[in-house]
Structure 1
Amino acid sequence: MKHFTAIFALLFITSLTSFSSNAYSIENSPYTVIAETGERLFSRIAKDQESLKKFPELMRDIVEEELMPSIDYKYAAFKVLGRNLRTMTPEQREKFVVSMRSYLVRTYAIALKQYKQQDVAFESHKATNGARIVGVNSVIRDANAPEINITFQMRQDRQTSQWKAYDMIIEGISLLSSKEAEISQRIQKSGIDQVTLELASFNK
């Protein structure tokens, strides 16, 4: 499952490298969040190439500063927990969210080390009509591989109105749904506290 998650992460990061000019001109939309995050992320990676060769762990700092502000990791963590969320104490929830966030940072940092730039086409901007959950479709094109269809699940926060990514569906398969099944099995077997520790240990 770790390998499976890393593939999803790489595809997510890859998709942030290109965007449509039409979407870019629309402020405060799920389309521009993806576009602008990708621009910041890869400009930073290009600028810090020499430092990354000497200090590979710098990639985590880049992910923290450029990518994570656009990831709704708390909502994603709660989605992954599913029904298990109801039986957890507030402290257990908080600890799990922290571990999940660190897990995502580590996963994205590993994936970025394998990155090779690909072409991406996004659907044209559309009005959200007040919806707070929006799917942004895209296609990754690689000369040496088949096209990959991806839908980014974006969520708008009620208080801040910010759009952030919380899931991606690649060729019909949801990252969160896949992780939820794995987490649920682990919780039933070992308990939430052990699963939280396991997620945290992946980050070391």
Structure 2
Amino acid sequence: MAMTIQFALFLVLAMGSMVPSAMAESKAEPDKLITSLFEAVNERLQADQDKIAADKTHLITIGDEVLAPYVSFETMAKQILGKNWRKITPDQRVRYTQAFRQRVSLSLVSQYDPSKKYDLEVTGARQNDKGDQAAVNSVVTEVKTGTKYNISYKLFVGRNASNWQVYDIVVEGVSVLQSFKTASAEDFKNNGIEYMIAQLQNSETATQGSESTVQ
């Protein structure tokens, strides 16, 4: 399960940097967007294998190139903190979101396995009546073993937005956001937001240290 969540999160991280030009010009349907992004992710990873082998943090560079238009880390952070989001200052919101995003990025770097290849089949998609929220269901297959994973992507589009944004991924019925949210509620109650931000930043430093050792 941990591997599939890491893989699903990598798709979120990478989506923004690998959008075909045709997708960037108009608001694609959610299912077509996910399919195109998945294919582009695989192509980019293959093309950049030498750079990744030389420095795995190149994965972060790939993800950060044009990440913002297609992934809403602020929405993720807000969902994770729940009602506690209203209890913190705007500055704390920004710093928590940035620390969470960077922590996810570095975690994916440490978990990335170039020997694993995947295929994706979109099995269904639906939107709400307003047309501003969507869910795309898929089956992701590990090519070498044939192991299949049910992965769903949750997206929304703002009133003035030109494209859909991913804000959650559900792997085998387990929401990535819910996994974070369960732990954060108790942490916020016992330690507060500044402690949580510091812990995320400390985790970033630890992960970077381990990556340096590997290199």
Please report the TM-score for the alignment, with normalisation by the length of structure 1: 0.80
Contact 2:155–2:168 (Cα < 8 Å) also in 1:
yes
The 3 A distance-change label for structure 1 pair 107 and 37 is: farther
| Offset at residue 108 of structure 1 (A) | 3.0
Query: Identity percentage over the alignment?
Result: 21
Contact 2:27–2:162 (Cα < 8 Å) also in 1:
no
Taking the TM superposition and a 5 Å limit, the aligned residue runs for 1:134-149 are 134-142=134-142, 144=145, 146-149=147-150
Mapped partners of 1:27, 1:124: distance in 2: 19
Corresponding residue of 1:152: 153
| Offset at residue 55 of structure 1 (A) | 2.1
- The equivalent position to 1:9 in structure 2, one of 6, 28, 38, is 6
Task: Kindly indicate whether residue 186 of structure 2 is the aligned counterpart of residue 185 of structure 1.
Answer: yes
Helix, strand or coil: the match of 2:56? Answer: coil
Deviates more, 1:185-194 or 1:32-41: 32-41
Corresponding residue of 1:176: 177
Contact 1:156–1:163 (Cα < 8 Å) also in 2:
yes
Count the aligned residue pairs. 194
Corresponding residue of 2:203: 202
Q: Which residue identity lines up with residue 175 of structure 1 in the other structure?
A: V
Q: Deviations over 1:42-91 (max 9, x none)?
A: 32222221222222221221122265642211101100010111211111
Task: Kindly indicate whether residue 108 of structure 2 is the aligned counterpart of residue 116 of structure 1.
Answer: no
| Offset at residue 40 of structure 1 (A) | 3.0
Corresponding residue of 2:20: none
Helix, strand or coil: the match of 2:161? Answer: coil
Q: Deviations over 1:11-48 (max 9, x none)?
A: 3546999xxxxxx9x95221232223223333222222
| Offset at residue 107 of structure 1 (A) | 2.7
Mapped partners of 2:120, 2:156: distance in 1: 21
Please report the TM-score for the alignment, with normalisation by the length of structure 2: 0.77
Deviates more, 1:173-182 or 1:133-142: 133-142
Corresponding residue of 2:166: 165
Q: Which residue identity lines up with residue 80 of structure 1 in the other structure?
A: I
The 3 A distance-change label for structure 1 pair 39 and 125 is: same
Q: Which residue identity lines up with residue 99 of structure 2 in the other structure?
A: S
Unaligned runs of 5+ in 2: 16-22, 206-215
Corresponding residue of 2:62: 62
Mapped partners of 1:185, 1:69: distance in 2: 32
Corresponding residue of 2:91: 91
Contact 1:137–1:149 (Cα < 8 Å) also in 2:
yes
The 3 A distance-change label for structure 1 pair 115 and 128 is: farther
Q: Which residue identity lines up with residue 187 of structure 1 in the other structure?
A: F
Q: Which residue identity lines up with residue 29 of structure 2 in the other structure?
A: S
What RMSD in Å do the two structures reach over aligned CA positions?
2.9
